[in-house]
Amino acid sequence: MKKIILMVVVLLSGLITNVSAQNDGVKVGIKAGYSATSWQGESVKSFNELLEFSNGNVETKWRHGFHAGMFLSIPLGSGFEFEPGVQYSQKGMVLEGRVPGGVGEFLNAKVTLTNKAEYIDIPLLAKVYVGEGFNLFAGPQVSFLLSNNVNVNAGALGFSAYNNDFEWKTAQRSVDVGLSAGLGYQFQNGLSLSGGYDMGLTTIDDKADYKSYNHGFKASVGFRF
């Protein structure tokens, strides 16, 4: 699977470079930034309802990560662009549990489980400019799973007593199909700022046993040449 993903990335990168070289109006860009991701769906809702019985000692949180890649800006007419891209993206979620009781609260003892999923995202975005520099974008996104691990961290008083990563060996879906949408601002010097929301349409696991989906927010800084 990783060989296939690498081949896709190489082919897309070559296509982007080739198209840009042959078309004066087409521009190549790079993009990177911050990501906050989690899961949503029926199983997550049920899971959160169960967490209410923990009296606040267990809670779900966003996983903080980053994304980086390249894209192609293809003019389609006045105020319209097609923007395909390829980027590395960190996704997942965080589950944090605190040890109840006087001693546990005094020592701030807690255990944190972090799903550390890594993907190659291929967004195919349509972009429309609604003012000078301001734009809205939306489109489908296909994501290929690179790796999927769970980090277990336990400690107290701000110190980690145990920290280890384990490969999540259940049948995770290798290809995730979703949607991406957001808004941005394109400066005349090539710099751009954008913020978007990604929503998965296919379950994280192949058999849809726990009906959970990836979703998250991205804040990006880009530059097109």
Confidence (pLDDT) at 8: 56
Distance CA 51, CA 48 (A): 5
Distance CA 65, CA 139 (A): 22
Task: Return the CATH number of the domain spanning residue range 2-224.
Answer: 2.40.160.20
Helix, strand or coil, per DSSP, at residue 187 = coil
Could you tell me which residues are beta bridge partners of residue 58?
Answer: 97
Mean pLDDT by runs of 10 across the 225 residues of the chain is 55 58 78 95 63 60 95 92 96 78 52 90 96 95 94 70 77 91 97 98 82 94 96
Confidence (pLDDT) at 37: 97
Alpha-carbon distances, residue 92 vs 4, 33, 81, 157 (angstroms) = 22, 16, 31, 26
Which tokens belong to 93?
Answer: 């979620």
